[in-house]
Amino acid sequence: MRLLFIGDIVGRAGRDIVLERLPHLRRDWKLDFVVVNGENAAGGFGITEAICSEVLEAGADCVTLGNHAWDQKEALVFIERESRLIRPLNYPAGTPGRGANLFEAQSGERVLVMNAMGRVFMDPMDDPFAGVERELNACPLGMGCDAVIVDMHCETTSEKYAMGHFCDGRASLVVGTHTHVPTADAQVLPQGTAYLTDAGMTGDYDSVIGMDKGEPLQRFTRKISSGRFEPALGPATLCGVAVETDPRTGLALWVAPVRLGGRLAEAVPAAWV
């Protein structure tokens, strides 16, 4: 199966490149399943129903979230009726929406997608490892589904690596989100799980992690806020990770970073072009 995960969309610049590029990538790379992290898609903070619908119509099969899941309050309502929008599974019991869901790919194969949020340097949450364990046990790779994708949304590289090894041999892909910087450690772990510490953001890299430089610089240099953060609006880079899985096991045959457009050096999966 051919899987594509696209890292955190930040604002209009990030949305525009996804809406422009994803339909062509879906066709040219013959993608079976696409996941997009959209937690910063609405002005850099949260997601709206209209934006979620645009991303899904452009070719995403599923949209994951993170610590900004509820910044747009309408998400608390429409997430209940949009089964393709996945929030972190370790929010407290009773939180609207779902933290994992089983989808059918265009090929007819079943893909389990889950979203977990880290706890180091982030808001206190339920244990992400216990939550992921429950989902893996409920729908094991090779039995309940043909592929498993884990979006680990957290601050520290160590917590992301720990989740990768925790899932090794039981997931097709564990990919980190949240820090908005693509890492160079794409690899297949010893037992067959594809791993990348951070997919990077899909947004304007002439910025401070997607935000217009003025306000962050003001706060760092003068410790004074002069306004709210606003997303940078220059040409965006679409960042993510591509994975091809073994049809017999659902584990990864290979993994490769994806970077298209904008300021960063281009990276495409050689096997697909």
How would you list the strands of the sheet with 85-86, edge to edge? 85-86, 62-64, 33-37, 2-6, 238-245, 252-260
Residues in the chain: 273
Q: Please state, in angstroms and rounded to a whole number, the distance separating the CA atoms of residues 177 and 65.
A: 9
**In this structure, are residues 32 and 3 in contact, taking their beta carbons and an 8 Å threshold?**
yes
Active site residue 68: yes
Q: Closest Cα to residue 117, out of 104, 101, 102, 130?
A: 130
Q: Closest Cα to residue 21, out of 2, 42, 6?
A: 6
Angle at 202 between CA 25 and CA 245, to 5 degrees: 50
Find the catalytic residue in 24, 68, 153, 178. Answer: 68
Residues annotated as catalytic (active site), given as ranges? 68
